[in-house]
Amino acid sequence: MAGEQVPLKTYRGNCHCTAFVYEISLPEIKQATECNCSICYKKASIFVFPKPSDVRFVKGDPSALTNYTFNEKRFTHKFCSTCGVSLMVVGHLTPPKAGEDKAPDNGFNIRTFQHGQTDVWKLDIKTFDGAALPSAYDAPKFTGFPPAGDAEDLQLYTGSCHCGAVTVGLKSKPLNKDSQGLMECNCSICGRYGATWAYPPKVQVVIEGRENLGEYYFNKKIASKRFCKTCGVPVCSEAAECTEEQVAQMDEASRQWYTRSKDLTAFNLRLINGLNVNDLNPTRFDGYTFIKPGYVEP
């Protein structure tokens, strides 16, 4: 097909707080490849790689994103330190030969595209078995005191962010394809985080290294989204600390949500070791349409 021009489509994306907005052009995305390596799995990142000349930052300088590397540092994973959204990865898909001067590839996480440009839930997604690559990842261990919850049907699950600054213990009913009450949401923040949420009572969760969590509030500022400040893995979402007076002043929908949520932790199951969220059956919630006021795309 020499000389045949594939028409390019422009995709616009951004982190949630809108500090970083980009446009990339590439052939229409009809399928994507999800890598199951330790970092892509925890971040739920699905990357596409436009040509460097087809990348434009509309707002924000990508060098101001927070960098995270590990192992041989082949790829730099870049996320926004304000909202914890992982925007892109920079590195060579095929390593340069000795003496070769080759610009690195830029991968953009399609979960950060603006709403309606691709639908991750409908896309044909293939898996790249990055977990099988030789550079093994040693999952950091949770060494904290196990959370409360001694009902017989509860078992202890442990895990961490990628870098290990945050480790977690969760008491939960067995997590499997029959588990109820798990959720994936396509709202502006959950869609970008790619999280698979469980909603255990707070007492059934222990988070070690809380001081390493970034906190992000938006919209009505009643929920705090928390992510590891070092590696950018989304950890949990919790109701903000509000006084009775503040609760009394909330609108009805917010007050109902707050009352229901204040003793729960929305917990990202992608942190758990030895569990694959693809083996679960989370409910898919159209939060993007449901949550009002809606998110304003920059």
| Closest to 45 (Cα-Cα) out of 95, 89, 10, 105 | 89
31 Cβ contact list (under 8 Å, min separation 6): 123, 124, 125, 126
Contact with Zn ion (CB under 5 A) among 35, 198, 231, 236: 231
Name which of 147 and 232 has its Cβ closer to Zn ion: 232
Q: How far is the CB of 154 from Zn ion (least distance, A)?
A: 26
* Stretch of residues binding Zn ion (CB under 5 A), selected from 1-9, 114-122, 153-161, 244-252: 153-161
d(CA 186, CA 214): 22
b/e sequence 27-47, b meaning 16+ C-beta within 10 Å: eebeeeebbebbbbbbbbbbb
CA distances from 107 to 103, 147, 209, 240 (A): 13, 38, 30, 34
CA dihedral angle for residue 162, residue 24, residue 81, residue 222, rounded to 10 degrees? -100
Our CB check for Zn ion shows the closer of 48 and 185 to be 185
Residue in 118, 102, 133 with CA at minimum distance from that of residue 35: 133
Least separation, in Å, of the C-beta of 26 and Zn ion?
Answer: 23
Site for Zn ion in 191-230 (CB under 5 A): 228, 230
For Zn ion, the binding residues in 45-64 under the rule CB under 5 A are: none
**Burial of 245 from C-beta contacts in 10 A (0-12 / 13-18 / 19+):** exposed
15 is a site residue for Zn ion (CB under 5 A) = yes
Interface with Zn ion, residue 88, by CB under 5 A: no
Q: Of 129, 64, 73, 59, nearest to 104 (Cα)?
A: 73
Residue 80 in the binding site for Zn ion (CB under 5 A): yes
Q: Determine if 298 is a binding residue for Zn ion (CB under 5 A).
A: no
- The least distance separating Zn ion from the CB of residue 231, rounded to whole angstroms, comes to 3
Q: Quick check: 197 and 284 in contact, CB under 8 A?
A: no
Q: Which is nearer to Zn ion, 44 or 83 (CB)?
A: 83
In which residue are the tokens 């001067």 written?
Answer: 101
- If the CB atoms of residues 48 and 85 are measured against Zn ion, the closer one turns out to be 85
| Structure letter (DSSP) for residue 89 | E
Among 33, 69, 76, 82, which residue sits at the site for Zn ion (rule: CB under 5 A)?
82
Q: Is 110 or 190 the residue whose CB approaches Zn ion more closely?
A: 190
Q: Whose Cβ is closer to Zn ion: residue 49's or residue 288's?
A: 288
- Give the residue with the Cβ less far from Zn ion, 89 or 161: 161
Sole window of 23-31, 52-60, 89-97, 231-239 interacting with Zn ion (rule: CB under 5 A) = 231-239
Binding positions for Zn ion, rule: CB under 5 A? 15, 17, 19, 80, 82-83, 161, 163, 165, 185, 187, 190, 228, 230-231, 287
